[in-house]
Amino acid sequence: MKKLLIFVCLLICKNSFGQDPKFSQYFASPLTLNPALTGYFEGKYRAAVNVRQQWANVGDSYNTYSASAEIKLQDEYYYDDIFSIGLSGLFDESFNKVLKSNHFGISMSYYKYLDPDHTFKIALAPQISYVTKALDYDALTVASQFENGSFNMALPNYLDLRSDRLSYLDFNVGANLALSTDKVSASAGYAAFHLTRPEQSVLGDVRVKQPLRHTINLSFRYLSNDLIEVNFGAHYMKQGKSTDNIFGSVIGFKPSYDSGVKLNAGLWYKSNEKMFFPYVGFDLANISMGLNYSVIANKIAHYQPRTFELSLILRDKDFIKFKNTCKF
């Protein structure tokens, strides 16, 4: 019965605009937030994985996964310029895996230093994405399959639907302005997604255009000494009538000057949903791991939805030209 209700909801909502998958640990999925964050990190390469489970305690959860890899290209002949290339994948499962979407992207950023001391830099970055979406009708149960008090999936569902899959190319673009000193680094960026306004539909009969998504990202990092660093981050996202406002702070602490471990703890707040995300993590050599979990949220019916995310980031620190950039 639950899957039948899901299908009815899909029929009712087929003319509505969908929204992109999103993360609270957006810094662990940088290329889905702003293509210009490609290459914006200390080191020559970075790889990141993020796993999000939304509404884990309310029926079937929404599962979202992201993975990305970036590398800075050789800069032997580009003293004031840095080119980077990044690959990203975003995978989303909704309605008990009935609806699945896959996003594969490639982006290239160009950072230009604005002063001889390399304190200020600005970046522009295009991104091309290939998107596929599929609706698994065989995972749905309908009245024709109800037999002897239960649903028999071997019986036909008699669904006369024109299409259960779609795919399209998409184009996104982003910019990022940043500064770095020995103690302070900060950045402000803007990105626009779905500039091609691709047409899509869940059921294939009525096609709608994907609404533009606008994002603004802000970050700040202060290194007080070799033991403590303070990070602040925020982002605003708008797509159609949907908006997201997330901001928070993370403090990193090393137990001793000789320690190879840095402990991270912080708190994020999502104002549009009145939701808090406590965050804990650690840095060990070139590896960063983080976990956050929602503790307060608006109730849906009699449920208080819970969401968690787990992230893993691998980066090196051999590329000194991008010293002291923001981490969160």
For the chain, what is the HEC assignment? CHHHHHHHHHHHCCCCCCCCCCCCCHHHCHHHHCHHHCCCCCCCEEEEEEEEEECCCCCCCEEEEEEEEEEECCCCCCCCEEEEEEEEEEEEEECCCCEEEEEEEEEEEEEEECCCCCCEEEEEEEEEEEEEEEECHHHCCCHHHEECCEECCCCCCCCCCCCCEEEEEEEEEEEEEEEECCCEEEEEEEEEECCCCCEECCCCCCCEECCCEEEEEEEEEEECCCCEEEEEEEEEEEECCEEEEEEEEEEEECCCCCCCEEEEEEEEEECCCCEEEEEEEEEECCEEEEEEECCECCCECCECCCCEEEEEEEECCCCHHHCCCCCC
The whole-number pLDDT of residue 6 equals 43
Which pLDDT band, with edges at 50, 70 and 90, does 220 fall under? Answer: very high
For the stretch 161-176, pLDDT in tens is 555 778 899 999 999 9
- Average pLDDT (290-294) is 91
Which pLDDT band, with edges at 50, 70 and 90, does 12 fall under? Answer: very low
For the stretch 36-62, pLDDT in tens is 999 999 888 999 999 998 765 555 668
More confident residue, 262 or 136: 262
Are 277 and 260 a contacting pair, CB within 8 Å?
no
**In a domain? residue 140:** yes
Domain count for the chain, please give it: 1
- Residue in the structure block whose two tokens are 């001889």: 116
For the stretch 120-151, pLDDT in tens is 999 999 999 999 988 776 666 666 666 666 66
Contacts with 234 (C-beta within 8 Å, 6 or more apart), sequence order: 217, 218, 219, 245, 246, 247, 248
Taking CA atoms, 240 is separated from 147, 181, 211, in Å, by 42, 38, 6
**In a domain? residue 30:** no
User: Mean pLDDT for the chain?
Assistant: 83
Residue at 182: amino acid letter? D
**In a domain? residue 49:** yes
Measured distance CA(323)–CA(45) in Å, rounded? 13
**Whole-structure pTM value:** 0.84
- Average pLDDT (285-308) is 76
Is the pLDDT confidence value at 274 over 50? yes
The whole-number pLDDT of residue 205 equals 56
More confident residue, 93 or 157: 93
The whole-number pLDDT of residue 137 equals 67
The whole-number pLDDT of residue 81 equals 87
**In a domain? residue 20:** no
**In a domain? residue 23:** no
Which pLDDT band, with edges at 50, 70 and 90, does 157 fall under? Answer: low
**In a domain? residue 328:** no
The whole-number pLDDT of residue 258 equals 84
For the stretch 175-203, pLDDT in tens is 999 999 989 999 999 999 999 998 876 55
Token pair in block for residue 177:
């302005």
Can you give the residue range of the structural domain that contains 157?
A: 2-14+42-322
The whole-number pLDDT of residue 10 equals 43
Measured distance CA(77)–CA(53) in Å, rounded? 45
**In a domain? residue 31:** no
Are 248 and 277 a contacting pair, CB within 8 Å?
yes
188: domain CATH number is 2.40.160.40
More confident residue, 52 or 206: 52
Nearest Cα neighbor of 224 from 261, 260, 256, 252 is 252
The whole-number pLDDT of residue 285 equals 85
Are 68 and 31 a contacting pair, CB within 8 Å?
yes
**In a domain? residue 53:** yes
